[in-house]
Structure 1
Amino acid sequence: MSIAFIGLGIMGSPMAANLVRAGYDVTGYDVTQDRVDQLVDRGGHAARSVAEAVKGADTVITMLPDSPQVEQVAPTIVDHGGPDLLYIDMSTIRPDTSRWIAGQGIRSLDAPVSGGEKGAIDATLSIMVGGDPQDFERALPLLKAVGKTIVHVGPSGAGQTVKAANQLVVGGIYGLVAEAIVLLEASGVDPGKGLDVLAGGLAGSRILELKRRSMVAREFAPGFRIDLHHKDMGIALAAAREAGLALPLTGQVAQLVAAARAQGHGALDHSALLKVIERLNS
């Protein structure tokens, strides 16, 4: 199977490399040439445009920052793709954009991911998939090359709704871990040892497992940037409005993420919510 992979950033680059490693013929395109060159070094092929990447591909995967970028490339994918092309968008975007893609006369799945850069590198991502069940079955072998937990959650747009729920939970946990660190330190307790105990009990989470030590050390190299989580919280709030729901904790977490961005931390990892909590208490 030949795959066109559009968007080779922090997440897309290791995902495309894992597809090459799994034996797929992968042609990549990104606006940054160095990222395309890295894919070629790993055994993939280079394209000079979206149209060139898509031509002759059986499947197209996009991993882009936001809905406008997806809306920009989708018409090119439709125009240059073959009649049996499957388009899998693995970006995190608005559910209505995924439904719009599905209405363009092309077989499509929305398949956003969770697991961060490490999950992308290790091919252990969680993938929530919306779209036709038959298209999901066709895509499943290649999704298994990049992820571990892969679930068809409903029709087009459903994957993005589940991802919105994921992001509000992730943001909330980061905020609470940040508050725990501030409380422990202010009380004269070693935060590293304190979080070690929390990680082994009911409060344990994937975030505590992966991020507690880097948060205590104030190391915020981006695995997933505050800027992107800010975008995702906007998607979650918009989904809540569309469903006619009040999600008060989600709103508060969204404000913390917005504050981190306003304070100039947008390029840092989303665990940098700790900097906002520290500033509130300084």
Structure 2
Amino acid sequence: MSRTDEFQTLRPLLFSIAYRILGSVGEAEDAVQETWLRFAASPTQPTSVRAFLAATVTRISIDVLRSARARREQYVGQWFPEPLIEDPYEDPARSAELADSVSTAALLLLERLSPLERAVFVLREVFAFGYPEVASAVGRSEAACRQLAARARRHMAAGRPRFEADREVREELASRFFDALREGDVAGLRELLAADVSMAGDGGGRAPQLARAVTGAENVARLLASVYPRMARVEVTCEPHQVNGQPGAIFRDRDGRVLHTMALDILDRRIRMIRAVINPDKLGHLGPVADAWAIDREVRRTHRSAG
């Protein structure tokens, strides 16, 4: 098998490692591309191509994450990872675990870890690499990696997100939610929301966004029921998708351009958290991006005319 073929076979795994470390589709793709360049330029063939490539993409991702931390500290408003519609790495035996590990809630927990802890956790706990491979990837001893992994597990366990185990229940509830959203059905929305539900958006100062998170079933239901029917009047459409392994949707303008994504955390047959990514800088990998400010102005203008 040629180097190109070997790399392409492992590319889904490499992207999935990099995305979980970085929380950015664009940065993960760049890390994978840089990994390929280093592999192609290597004068010798590694004993284990998988271990070599995983170690390389991990080291690159750690370096990128360290520089990204400073930028995220200056971020305007709530920071969410870039939405991932489809994780290219598949492992049927661990599909539920992999989906949960890429959820927005899990990625936000990973943000609390140091870059080294995050990398060790991803390699060991998510992708089940052995400690010798983990140690080689991060440049630490096996004993140090065991300590890093234990510390990371404690941090993650303290706030580990829980999701509805039955995927059919999640999908059915999400379908009812988006139907009620389109219809502006306050009662229908309220019925699907947990009493302490929270809704937040990431606009990064680059798009209209909530000034702060909205909490409580009544508040969230009324806000959603007031906003989305107005958006439908200017031909914004809702396209259901899995977003970061959880039920969600992509919203598009009349020309099919991406306006924002929405992801739902569901547990005990109720929606516990609603997260929207509106920042256009985080949506380009999904296709052409809409002008959210223009749509906001059109929605307001249409609402005034209707009133």
TM-score in terms of structure 1 length? 0.28
Higher radius of gyration, 1 or 2: 2
